Amino acid sequence: PSEAHRAAAEARQNVLTKPPGSLGVLEALAIKLAALQATDRPRAARAPIVLFAGDHGVTAQGVSAYPADVTVQMLHNFAAGGAAIAVLARELGVKLHVVDAGTLSEHDVPGVTTDKPRRGTRDFSHEAAMTTDELSFALKAGRRAVERARAGGADIVILGEMGIGNTTSAAAIAASLLGVRAGDVVGAGTGLDAAGVNRKAEVIEAALATHGLRAADVPAAQVLKCVGGLEIAALAGAMIAAAQGRIPVLVDGFIVSVAALGAVRLNPSCAPWLIYSHRSLERGHRVVLDALAAEPLLDLKLRLGEGSGAAAALPLLRLACALHSEMATFADAHISGPES
């Protein structure tokens, strides 16, 4: 981030025709984007959405309300434009890039980029979800996706995910990296009942013990390898790549926030590039956001994923940029300042 541009943006906000600070978060967003984009005129016009999909062997343990088939069915729905994120992308005028980062699909889905090391992860209740090479592949798949999105122009990138079972993987990662009980970070996902949520927590606690992930200071890569998801690893890789390419990232809900936690543990210098879009209803999200010292923009009781909450926050960034660039100053508009 450019401290010079941050300071210039702060100075500008203080001479625009409004009481200083009165645009609150919209001021802070414009200042943050000016620093990240190293510009006097921050923008969020070009905001491609990159959605990574993956399947999870742990669904064999009955941890999701929906069958695993739905992941691949949804790939078709994304490509056909009927899914929530596809509608949001159209309405916002941004491109949606869908990546099969590890679903069970045996075929390429038209309109979806296939970039996966294997079909689904292994069941982490029995064995590591992926090998070291598969983890490395998935991290690089995230980087490749950011490079494709960037080729079409990107002031910011929006990251989303889809994968039946991925709240289980995300909760396992969070429980290990944050040293909290699984019960503190599991939620209903797509719609488990209370017994299902308890079962999910038990599966996670057992797996963390099996893989030795309750020790202190287990490396993030080890956690991702043992209980991660291919789409979650791709998300982490995408965040690191975006930060290295100086593109701010708009982070979605629980899963993407857990990927952010992983990315920050793998490469702490990516942290300033991550903008948290919303607080979801998924129970563990608050714990993860707190650990990241994140203050999300929206709180709309969303729990869909796909990048939907991040997409819903994009207009705030756009409005913040417009206000920053287009408002008159007190001097230009001949308006009196505060009385002394």
Binding a copy of itself (rule: CB under 8 A), the pick from 13, 77, 105, 169 is 77
Q: Which of 178, 206, 271, 281 binds a copy of itself (CB under 8 A)?
A: 281
The residue range among 109-117, 176-184, 204-212, 328-336 that interacts with a copy of itself, by the rule CB under 8 A, is 328-336
Residue 322 binds a copy of itself, judged by CB under 8 A:
yes
Q: How far apart are CA 328 and CA 330, in angstroms?
A: 7
Say how far apart CA 199 and CA 61 lie, in whole Å.
Answer: 9
Min dist. Cβ of residue 265 to a copy of itself (A): 28
Cβ contacts of residue 125 below 8 Å, gap of 6+? 58, 60, 61, 203, 206, 207, 210
Among this protein's residues, is 27 annotated catalytic? no
CB of 305 to a copy of itself, least distance (A): 8
Considering beta carbons, is residue 176 or 280 the nearer one to a copy of itself?
280
CB of 147 to a copy of itself, least distance (A): 28
Q: Is 302 in the site for a copy of itself (CB under 8 A)?
A: yes
Residue choice 73, 131, 132, 269 for contact with a copy of itself (CB under 8 A): 73
The span from the CA of 1 to the CA of 20, in Å, is 23
Is position 191 an interface residue for a copy of itself (rule: CB under 8 A)? Answer: yes
**Of the ranges 49-57, 82-90, 139-147, 233-241, which one interacts with a copy of itself (CB under 8 A)?**
82-90
By CB under 8 A, is residue 328 in contact with a copy of itself?
yes
Contacts 24+ apart (CB under 8 A), 75-84: 75/100, 75/103, 75/105, 75/109, 75/112, 75/162, 76/109, 78/51, 78/53, 78/111, 78/112, 78/162, 78/306, 79/109, 79/110, 79/111, 79/112, 80/111, 83/306, 84/304, 84/306, 84/308
Alpha helices for the chain (secondary structure H): 3-13, 24-37, 69-80, 84-92, 132-151, 166-178, 182-185, 194-210, 220-227, 230-244, 254-266, 285-291, 308-326, 330-333
Burial of 6 (0-12, 13-18, 19+ CB in 10 A): middle
Residue 333 interacting with a copy of itself (CB under 8 A):
yes
- We find the least distance from the C-beta atom of residue 253 to a copy of itself, in angstroms, to be 10
| From 3, 194, 216, 334, residue interacting with a copy of itself (rule: CB under 8 A) | 334
d(CA 338, CA 332): 16
The token pair that represents 291 in the structure block: 């650990």
Question: From the CB of 14, what's the least distance to a copy of itself, in Å?
Answer: 12
Q: Look up residue 197 and give its two tokens.
A: 């949520």
Is 285 a residue that touches a copy of itself (CB under 8 A)? Answer: no
What is the strand order of the sheet 249-251 is part of? 113-114, 96-102, 49-54, 157-162, 249-251, 274-276
Q: Residue 290, interface with a copy of itself (CB under 8 A)?
A: no
Of 202, 306, 326, 339, catalytic: 306
* Interface with a copy of itself, residue 308, by CB under 8 A: yes
Residue 128's CB: how many other CB atoms inside 10 A? 19
Beta carbon of residue 167, minimum distance to a copy of itself (angstroms, whole number)? 11
Q: What is the closest distance, in whole angstroms, from the C-beta atom of residue 335 to a copy of itself in the complex?
A: 4
Pick from 1, 8, 18, 272: which binds a copy of itself (CB under 8 A)? Answer: 18
Q: Please list the active-site residues.
A: 306
Q: Which residues bind a copy of itself (CB under 8 A)?
A: 16-26, 64-67, 69-70, 73-74, 76-77, 80-84, 87-88, 90-92, 190-191, 281, 297-304, 308, 311-312, 315-316, 318-319, 322-323, 326-328, 332-339
